Amino acid sequence: MGLEYIAVNIALWFGLYLIVTLSLNLEYGFGGIPNFGKAFAVLIGAFAVGGIINRLLIYFLGISGQIIEASSHSKTIVNSLIASNPVIGLSLLIGSILLAFIFGCLTGALFILPSAKLREDYLAITLLAISEVTYLICYYNIDLIGGYYGVSVPDVFAFVPGELRVFVFAITIIFTSFLIYLLLNKLLISPYGRLLKAIRENEDVVKAYGKNVMLIKIKTVSLGSGLAAIAGALYSLYSVNVISSSFTRVEWTFYPFLMILLGGAGNNKGIILGTLIFVVVKILLTMYKFEISSLLNLPFEAVWLEYIMFGVVMLIILFYRPEGILKETPIITKPIKEVVKRRELRKR
């Protein structure tokens, strides 16, 4: 397998996971909201593409039948249109991202609403339970997004030659994750970001100052879910199909938490580092797990190596480096910078 393919695969998965981890860092790293239902938001993004965009295309093309067969027919027609007119593909890409974000924000607010008043441990279990129920409904109900069969999705880059498609998608995903990084950096140094940290440290004090903690939590999870839904939409467009079994709690909830713990919660630069390290190790493990298992003569099947290794890594981090590789740094605003400069000038 060529180095180019490995590098592109790393870039693609790094961008997807970075979008999810940045959104989770907003909720958990800054707001202290243990969103163990993160896979729900990613699944919602996939649903926006496979369940809503697909149905709109099927309706406008006048195709009848069950969504599984109809989506396959629709994909063939739309791909031919995109191949001759790239604007259609780019419009579909942008429309899918916007729809996933809006739909993710709305469902994220509803998702947290029944449990926003719960304390951390109960909140985490409740969010995980809601996420699992939603996943099972989508998996076993064929009429939503094809269930365990899945549905086909048009290739928004059908105008790009086959060997270059993965490169274009990797660039698109990396660019999107970079924009989200810039957005969150600006947002988290604002009064809103400092308020989130205050809620994380002691929400009773924040309540005493007259702030509506529940409303802030709902807004935070809503925004985080909207951003994570973008990752779900991009992944679905890249794989040109939506299968519910691709959106498990391990891949899209527990792994993002591991990346955050590894890099450093509350530090977006640490999140980038933690995500990159995780993705590189994960892809190399996926590629060479059988060789590693044979070399070390492991007493279990090679397919379990990834889960065992990452489980051990999480325990080591929690015991010996709970703050992550890069520790959280205080938010330095412009007025604080001016005060520091004045103090330095006085010392001179």
Tens of pLDDT, residues 236-263: 999 999 988 889 889 999 999 999 999 9
Give this prediction's pTM.
Answer: 0.93
DSSP state for residue 116 in the 8-state scheme: T
Q: Where are the domains of the chain?
A: 3-347
Q: Among residues 235, 220, 218, which one has the least CA distance to residue 97? A: 235
Q: Which residue has the higher pLDDT, 5 or 151?
A: 151
Tell me what pLDDT residue 240 has. Answer: 92
- Spatial distance between the Cα atoms of 308 and 306, rounded to a whole number of angstroms: 6
User: Dihedral angle at the C-alpha atoms of 251, 252, 254, 255, nearest 10 degrees?
Assistant: 60
DSSP state for residue 113 in the 8-state scheme: G
Tell me what pLDDT residue 1 has. Answer: 52
Q: pLDDT tens digits for 3-56?
A: 888 899 999 999 999 999 999 999 999 999 999 999 999 999 999 999 999 999
- Spatial distance between the Cα atoms of 158 and 25, rounded to a whole number of angstroms: 34
- Spatial distance between the Cα atoms of 280 and 288, rounded to a whole number of angstroms: 12
Give the list of residues 6+ apart from residue 115 with CB closer than 8 angstroms, or none. 122, 123, 126, 127, 130
3-class DSSP assignment, residue 204: helix
Domain 3-347 in this protein, CATH class: mainly alpha
